[in-house]
Structure 1
């Protein structure tokens, strides 16, 4: 009877675990909350075979509220499935920036690589052109300085005490199997915004692919990001790489230059771009994602709290956006003050290329004011 009882409890736990998986996949916050209150250990449940946890499912489907619930329940934020993927990798793969934001605030490991091809969260975000996710992944490396791009261009990086140039270059230029970098992936798939951000932050133009038994490479080993851009066929990507100094004459292991790669893949429209350097230097504006003050707000979120489950009975100093939570962030040069959650949301959703489809004009004003310089948060929590 004791044996049967234990088996029965096992089946019960499995059934509850599957219910939590379904809630995580479908975005049922109330069901997930009820199950976790009943048994917080259900957060550690994983499905048979693929070993995806509720955290993986909620991250892959963009349900950031459930991701936060699971993290509060004590689940390992860097839990892997059978492919070695973490929730952060799956969120980056599918472009769920709100999940990425939550995981980065809770200090998810951005350096882990999967078991299949050695790709990191950055590789997956670059592969699919999720520039906003990349910016959040690198939040702890990019200081909140309004003229950060100008300082980078001037080559005066040592003057920025918060800027770890070596650290960010190691992250950006980390290779997966076959020597493929995030820049290779973004260039191949024609993601112009992603290529621009990676280049601004020091992605290597000379990193070349290598022969690897697990990687199918139809372009050839020894290929630079420009070879990959030529294969992909996006003229803007090629122009950006050339403007930053990519070599037009570099040959891969097949003896192919980028132009020869373009011809072999029938990218005839790239002939003029790849034949010779442009007569005039291409004027490239900084990535709109570069100077967002996300590092400062991330620090505030970690030190003083990000999510507030219970609002104060009377908030004498409410956030200028939600009008509910208490102000934690003040913008220099204007009278607007925000809660941490709204400040992060505004920063994470802003970019010049998406402003057409963004929030109303008044909110966009808040966004651009945030970009100027966010000073310290209010002293009282």
Structure 2
């Protein structure tokens, strides 16, 4: 990496050159470089900025290409050890990234001050397109072969801060999703952060301090631990309360039920059909509403219990202080409940629970075999098993990625244990499909019975031996005396 040649601050040629670069005057820049070729890689002012630094920082693509064609050093450093690629990522000039990368810009260069890379600068600024281009270059270039792509995504600066920490702290949800999809670890901890959120902070600590509810939800979906403490003893909930981020604190409270968040880590969730996505979003909103109501009812009960205890103490003090009790208070009689309203509510529940779904005469929608409360609306495309939207969402939400590894397998179907690859709308099964499934199940049961018969034999005392012999039940056809069945008394077997 080349160091910029130091030029005095009072050099009017440098000031004129920088002014022409900022204004985009290509002809004047070419004229000055023809007159003074040393200006091409010279460093000006205290920061020792070269013309390529200024062109990349200002987003002057045409001038940047001219400088590269005339032989400007692509990895030239300023006084802070920053390359033109770092300044382009810091300023969000994504159009200048491609020419710099094609000219051989190093994506793994570290600056002098905090040992940060271009990915740190792009993530901190929230420049999603810059992050995308840097990650694409790192995945295909020599960095992936020598250093490792996942290691580059989780690169740490001098304080142990990863790009995911910076995106979480600044509230850049788009950059955060891109980093998580590329293998960023939600369990990464900082070593020391100076004036930051404290030692040993995870990305969810940074998101709790920044107050971005979207980032907090995304990190929880990727398996972030809301009970983890940093070296100062703070949980993410404590950090959110410390900086008055009440919305984040509501879902980070470790004493409350864990909220359901959209399972964005799984690829099949981004490939959902619009109708299926609408059903799952409605189920998510309903589940979170029920959670909020439960938490509010708990808080109200706690407050009422506290107020009742205070009232009892005051009543006891009043009784002890009174000289005599002339009248005995009447016992409390609870108010009579309106039985008609209860009957109407129960009737409404019964009717809504038993109403079938109209299927246009094609068939009847099946009841979910997990909760037995709702109808099947979502189908796993690979195996054809169906579930309701609420159970599907719970399965995907609770099957979170392992935060200790960059990649985790997707959730599996609860019926056949195959990995879920696609979710579609469950279509009602016709009578022909039901008859085929029944015949298939009968054939499987018959094949199972025939296997037991072949292993167990038929007739004679010696036919029941080995591991198939049970003290109470035995499968298959039993004996040769005309009696058969799947449950056989051992006393009858001993008489054979």
Same fold (TM over 0.5): yes
8 Å Cα contact 1:141/1:164 also seen in 2? no
27-36 or 173-182, larger mean C-alpha shift? 27-36
Aligned to 1:245: 223
Q: How far does residue 205 in structure 1 lie from its aligned partner after superposition?
A: 1.0
2:38 to 35, 41, 59: 41
8 Å Cα contact 2:217/2:261 also seen in 1? no
Going from structure 1 to structure 2, the CA distance change for 1:256 and 1:81 (only over 3 Å counts) comes to: same
Q: How far does residue 75 in structure 1 lie from its aligned partner after superposition?
A: 1.5
Q: How far does residue 136 in structure 1 lie from its aligned partner after superposition?
A: 1.1
Going from structure 1 to structure 2, the CA distance change for 1:110 and 1:280 (only over 3 Å counts) comes to: closer
Aligned to 1:169: 150
Cα distance per residue 1:131-161 (max 9 Å; x no partner): 1001111223446xxxxxxxxxxxxxxxxxx
Q: TM-score w.r.t. structure 1 length?
A: 0.62
8 Å Cα contact 1:192/1:237 also seen in 2? yes
Aligned to 1:107: 104
Aligned to 2:163: 182
Structure whose CA Rg is larger: 2
2:15 to 18, 25, 28: 18
> Cα RMSD between the aligned structures?
2.5
8 Å Cα contact 2:220/2:261 also seen in 1? no
Aligned to 1:201: 182
1:86 to 83, 87, 90: 83
Q: How far does residue 225 in structure 1 lie from its aligned partner after superposition?
A: 0.4
Secondary structure of the residue aligned to 1:140 is: helix
2:59 to 44, 58, 62: 62
Q: How far does residue 266 in structure 1 lie from its aligned partner after superposition?
A: 0.5
Q: Note the 1:1-381 alignment, pairs <5 A.
A: 14-142=11-139, 167-211=148-192, 215-217=194-196, 219-275=197-253, 276-279=257-260, 282-283=263-264
Name the CA distance, whole Å, in 2 between partners of 1:280 and 1:226. Answer: 14
Cα distance per residue 1:93-114 (max 9 Å; x no partner): 1101111122112220111111
Secondary structure of the residue aligned to 2:133 is: helix
Name the CA distance, whole Å, in 1 between partners of 2:114 and 2:82. Answer: 11
Secondary structure of the residue aligned to 1:255 is: coil
Secondary structure of the residue aligned to 1:139 is: helix
Name the CA distance, whole Å, in 1 between partners of 2:139 and 2:81. Answer: 28
Q: How far does residue 165 in structure 1 lie from its aligned partner after superposition?
A: 11
Name the CA distance, whole Å, in 2 between partners of 1:45 and 1:165. Answer: 32
- How many residues were matched structurally? 256
Name the CA distance, whole Å, in 1 between partners of 2:33 and 2:152. Answer: 35
Name the CA distance, whole Å, in 1 between partners of 2:262 and 2:133. Answer: 31
Q: How far does residue 15 in structure 1 lie from its aligned partner after superposition?
A: 4.2
Cα distance per residue 1:350-378 (max 9 Å; x no partner): xxxxxxxxxxxxxxxxxxxxxxxxxxxxx
Q: How far does residue 70 in structure 1 lie from its aligned partner after superposition?
A: 1.0
Going from structure 1 to structure 2, the CA distance change for 1:283 and 1:14 (only over 3 Å counts) comes to: closer
Cα distance per residue 1:205-262 (max 9 Å; x no partner): 11111126xx322x21011001001101111101111111111111101111111110
Cα distance per residue 1:55-82 (max 9 Å; x no partner): 1111111111111111111111111111
Name the CA distance, whole Å, in 1 between partners of 2:11 and 2:260. Answer: 67
Secondary structure of the residue aligned to 1:83 is: coil
Name the CA distance, whole Å, in 2 between partners of 1:234 and 1:15. Answer: 46
**Residue segments in structure 2 that go unaligned for 5+ positions in a row:** 1-6, 268-496
